[in-house]
């Protein structure tokens, strides 16, 4: 049975920047699974939009510039090109490990990539960025 969870980006003061649904094949996932699915979906969404130059995601793609747009994190590419999800995922894992962002799951901070938790439709998941992130 698949489970859909809404994932939110928040500022350190708790302001909502962006939210998106993510679907998982199981209700038991790890923090690594959560990050992987989020990054994969962001990249797939961007790559489907031919001609799009604005990437909204957890990690900044290589050869892009950050756009200040309220509380949202957006990056402008010089021209549209496909983004590869694996380098983005690797940079996101590095950022998590060096505390570039933290994840709250039902208001409890995720401590490690291998930490497991059970999700359901009411599960609250928030990503809170602490620094600018760059990646693939």
Backbone angles phi, psi at 115, to 5 degrees: -60, 130
Backbone angles phi, psi at 132, to 5 degrees: -70, 140
Torsion angle of C-alpha atoms 40, 90, 92, 77, degrees rounded to 10: -70
The answer to whether 55 and 130 are in contact (CB under 8 A) is no
Cα within 13 Å of Cα(86), Cβ side: 0
- Give CA–CA dist 97/112, Å, rounded: 8
pLDDT 10s digit of each residue in the chain, 136 long?
A: 799 999 999 888 888 888 999 999 999 999 999 999 999 999 999 999 988 899 988 988 888 888 766 556 788 898 889 999 999 999 999 999 999 899 999 999 999 999 999 999 899 999 998 745 445 5
Q: What is the pTM of this model?
A: 0.89
């Amino acid at each position: 049975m698949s489970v859909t969870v809404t994932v939110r980006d928040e500022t350190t003061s708790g302001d909502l920047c962006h939210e998106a649904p993510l679907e998982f094949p199981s209700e038991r996932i790890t923090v690594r699974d959560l990050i992987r699915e989020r990054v994969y979906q962001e990249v797939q969404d961007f790559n489907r939009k031919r001609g799009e130059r604005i990437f909204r995601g957890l990690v900044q793609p290589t050869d892009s510039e950050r756009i200040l747009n309220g509380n949202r994190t957006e990056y402008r590419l010089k021209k549209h090109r496909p983004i590869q999800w694996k380098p983005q995922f690797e940079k996101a894992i590095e950022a998590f490990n060096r505390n570039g962002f933290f994840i709250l799951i039902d208001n409890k901070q995720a401590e490690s990539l291998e930490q497991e938790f059970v999700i359901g439709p009411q599960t609250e998941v928030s990503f809170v960025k602490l620094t600018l992130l760059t990646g693939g």
